[in-house]
Chain A
Amino acid sequence: MDAISGLLGGFAALANPETLLYMIGGFLIGTFFGAVPGLTSVLAIALLLPLTYSLDVTTALVACASIFMAGMCSGSITATTINIPGAPSSMMTALEGYPMQQRGEGAKALGHAALGSMIGGSLGALLLMVMAPLAADVALLIRTPGKFSLIAFALIVIIISQRGSITKGMIATLFGVMIATIGIDVVQPLARFTFGTGVLVQGIDMMPLIIGTFAISELLVQADSRSTRTVDPSMIKAAKVRRRDFIPPLSEVREIGALRYLKSAVIGYAVGILPGAGGSMAAFVSYAESMRSSKHPERYGKGNPEGIAAAECANNSMCGGAFVPMLTFGIPGDPTTAIVLGVLVINGLQPGPQFMTQQLDLIAPMFASLFVSALILIPLTLYLLGPYFLKIVSIRRDVLYSSIAIVALVGSYVATYSTFQMALALVFGVLAYYLRKQKYPTVCLLLGFVLGPSLEEYCRRALSINDGNPLIFFTSPDSLFFIALTVVFFYFMVIRKPKDNGLGTRPA
């Protein structure tokens, strides 16, 4: 009963004009960053991170949630109209949306994408509200050896989900773990890897790492491009959409069917819970399942609304699932939830099994923001701004990237009022640029950095309570469960690799 009233209180918190303003502002920012090719909602949230020092934690979380939701659906705009997915999660939408655009049904494709996102996002948020307290109860059963095995499981799954570049995923993750060991030891008061400098004793802050990895490296990558605008203006003229065509015909919605929407939402939510999977994996799995179970699989790839609905429903539902491991175990599975974890840590909060009950008043507005963003803001934004989306995202690159540079660098300064943090952001930016050029997944770097300290702490604590005997990890039932789960995942994802499904593409 307390949980229900707490969750309803979250919706009431959105009635606060300031909170509401941040939710709508966050949604619009997320829409813009998700729609502009090359920018992502992760970058938007990364740029927001420094501002959370001055923001109320609830407001910051509400803004993060709406950016997350908006970023997942807005990638479909450029994917449909000009065949350039604004975000990796919209790759499958491009497969169906662009053929529809070519036969003059672009607005309808966007309508199907928005409807799918709306249904998926709302169901994902509802599932989060229902399932997260249950997951928190389960989390209470996990003891120290189990926590180590759980984090190891998360890291291993993140690494092996980097198909075709597992070694690179492993290197990036371990490098993140190494960076996290700089500073005071997690168990005893001993400074490590400071190389005689006082500035490293406190360790590396998450903010310069995030700003460097996602914002500065993006500036360096974009500096190679010669175009002056983010989207070629000639493409905009050829891709006009009218507002009245946005509403998808009821007959097509019926043909897609409630079951397909529901199944896609559940798939997206489940994929979201998995570490390292993300929106593109959710969209891919759901799309493949939709094609498999369709009465007309031959229509896929030629502009089938079913494919758009399945992909968009799943990638927005994923948003709800992604919060479950972060809030209940303190284990983020993707960069967005890792940054949200950073927002919590900046405000002195540490997620864990009791977090859901003890701090429900703080996070319930975030759940509400996810739900409201999906149910109201997605269709409303499409209807009001839809015809102008392409003009909005076709922005001058010099203005866009100069603005990003200022927000990123001055934002790094905010934490300690020192240019050292700004310099660190630049160093990490250059490092991430090299890694990105060689296709090392920088997401793994961030997750290794975030999860590394907990991995070390639980490993050492588990061994110290068992006189250094590593058998504790195999005799403790919860730990054994996660080791078995790791073996199962390793078998299915590495040894018995999933087939290509004939889609001609794989999730990013």
Chain B
Amino acid sequence: MSLKPSSPHSSRRAGLSGEFYVPAALAIITLIYLISAIQLGPPMKAGNMTASFFPIATAIIMLIALSCAMVHALRGKARASAESSPADAESHDEIASGRQYAGLSLGAIGVVVLTAGYLLAFDLIGYFVATFVYVLLLCCLFGGGFRDKWLTKLIAAVAITLAGYLLFEVVFQVRLPTLWSQ
């Protein structure tokens, strides 16, 4: 997994994989966390631990563990480069590639974008319309496009929307937002 928009060529150029980038991203989050923890005040006061002690200790141990993971990733990369020929590297890249953007496959990006859109639409246009459209698009994403068995997908979208309504609103009495309640 690469965190950069990648083709086989770009991932070879970048050299590092998600094995390095994931702990690196977590290290940035942990640093922000550590700074916020330090801003809470001194870790000890009158011999007692304060609210900042535990987060500071956790963040420091986390940073050490993340450093180990990053060093391990760098060493692994160096070892792999030393052991494999350019031809091997190329074939490996071709196997591992599948187009990825920021470490997400196209399918995963589709799910993230559709879900984010659903969250926005859920409050704005209510459960029924938002859910029907979301389910229909998800069916297309998981079922290989709209053209293939489109009627089945349409029926599935209506059925899942109604089943969700029955489950939450009727059986479990959860008040779902509707277009007419806005």
Contact = CB atoms under 8 A, between A and B. Distances in A.
A219 B61 CA distance: 32
Contacts, number: 180
A174 B62 contact: yes
A239 B135 CA distance: 33
A54 to B, nearest CB: 4
B156 A405 contact: no
Interface in B107-143: 107-108, 110-112, 115-116, 118-119, 122-123, 127, 131, 134-135, 138-143
B114 to A, nearest CB: 9
Interface in A366-408: 396-399, 401-403, 405-407
A460 B53 contact: yes
Contacts of A429: 115
Contacts of A192: 36-37, 40, 51, 55
A220 B104 contact: yes
B23 A171 contact: yes
B101 interface: no
Interface stretch (A84-92, A117-125, A418-426): A418-426
A417 B55 contact: no
Interface string B11-48: 00000001100110110001001001100100010011
Interface stretch (A5-13, A64-72, A461-469): A461-469
Contacts of B105: 223-224
B18 A438 contact: yes
Contacts of A405: 111, 115, 134-135, 138
Contacts of A423: 119
Given A216-B115, A397-B143, A409-B118, A224 B173 contact: no
B172 interface: yes
A413 B103 CA distance: 28
A435 B168 CA distance: 31
B163 to A, nearest CB: 7
Contact of B19 (A174, A224, A433, A438): A438
B80 interface: no
Interface of B is mostly: helix
Contact of B115 (A167, A426, A460, A467): A426
Contacts of A223: 105, 107-108, 110-111, 141-142
Contacts of B174: 53-54, 410, 413-414
Contact of A468 (B47, B131, B168): B47
A208 to B, nearest CB: 12
A178 B108 contact: no
A63 B40 CA distance: 43
Contacts of A437: 1, 18, 22, 103
Contact of A224 (B107, B156, B167): B107
Given A193-B33, A426-B112, A402 B160 contact: yes
Nearest to A226: B144
Nearest to B1: A437
A112 interface: no
A216 B174 CA distance: 21
Interface residues on B, range: 35 or more
B65 A174 contact: yes
B68 interface: yes
Contacts of A195: 36
A222 B160 CA distance: 19
Interface residues of A, number: 64
Interface stretch (A182-190, A247-255, A261-269): A182-190
Contacts of B119: 409, 419, 422-423, 426
Nearest to B142: A398
Contacts of A430: 104, 112
Contact of B49 (A220, A224, A406, A459): A459
Given A220-B112, A433-B108, A467-B47, A398 B59 contact: no
Contacts of A171: 23, 26, 62, 65-66, 69
Q: Which 5 pairs between the two chains have the least Cβ-Cβ distance?
A: A223-B107, A398-B143, A468-B47, A54-B172, A398-B142
6 contacts: A53-B172, A222-B142, A406-B161, A410-B127, A437-B22, A459-B49
Interface of B: 1, 18-19, 22-23, 25-26, 30, 33, 36-37, 40, 44, 47-49, 51, 53-55, 58-59, 61-62, 65-66, 68-69, 72, 98, 103-105, 107-108, 110-112, 115-116, 118-119, 122-123, 127, 131, 134-135, 138-144, 152-153, 156-157, 160-161, 163-164, 167-168, 171-176
Interface of A: 51, 53-55, 167-168, 170-171, 174-175, 177-178, 181, 185, 187-188, 190, 192-193, 195, 216, 219-226, 228, 396-399, 401-403, 405-407, 409-410, 413-414, 417, 419, 422-423, 426, 429-430, 433-435, 437-438, 440, 456, 459-460, 463-464, 467-468
Given A403-B163, A434-B103, 16 more contacts: A170-B61, A171-B66, A175-B26, A193-B55, A222-B142, A228-B144, A398-B156, A402-B135, A402-B156, A414-B174, A422-B119, A422-B122, A430-B104, A437-B103, A438-B22, A463-B49
